[in-house]
Structure 1
């Protein structure tokens, strides 16, 4: 197993940029192909090849997949907001509260698979 970039730079805290680039070049390269950001999709997205100009790394396999991602994320946020309001404004039995908290938990768990900050700066 190779050492991390942080560990290697800690060993050479005053390394010039030339040495830092050499260290990075010696390290295993991260994957250049990953699954689409949409958790409901199994397609692969590619990072542009070295030397490509004007291309952004793909986050989604297609425009329709990105739109489906946005719709699903918005639906989960809306449902979570409604359920939170119900939990905070209604008198509930213990069983109702437990059931409602489970539904809230499921939506929060699912929403974690739809990161909000997927867009590139």
Structure 2
């Protein structure tokens, strides 16, 4: 995913022949598993929270959210069901939110999800 706040950017995705031109508030999303590239308008400032330590996910696949949380919090998620495989999340986490707070928010957003924290491992069921 690339989101442009200022300037102009030309993007070429892997070996695809198309070139994409981004201007301010353009976002390009590439999904490697499907090869699909999407370009659309967004409020770019909402996506730059990472510079201030916050996290914003705009309709992001659940597994991608988990991978990002693994990097940010230094944990490993173990998903014990495939029920959430097609789930996407649109959520903003503030810079100072603890992992427990993030998991509580996810629990509200994803009906039926349960989690258990064992050291640096988080088990989802």
Interval containing the TM-score (normalised by the shorter chain): under 0.3
Higher helix proportion:
1
Higher strand proportion:
2
TM-score, reference length from structure 1: 0.21
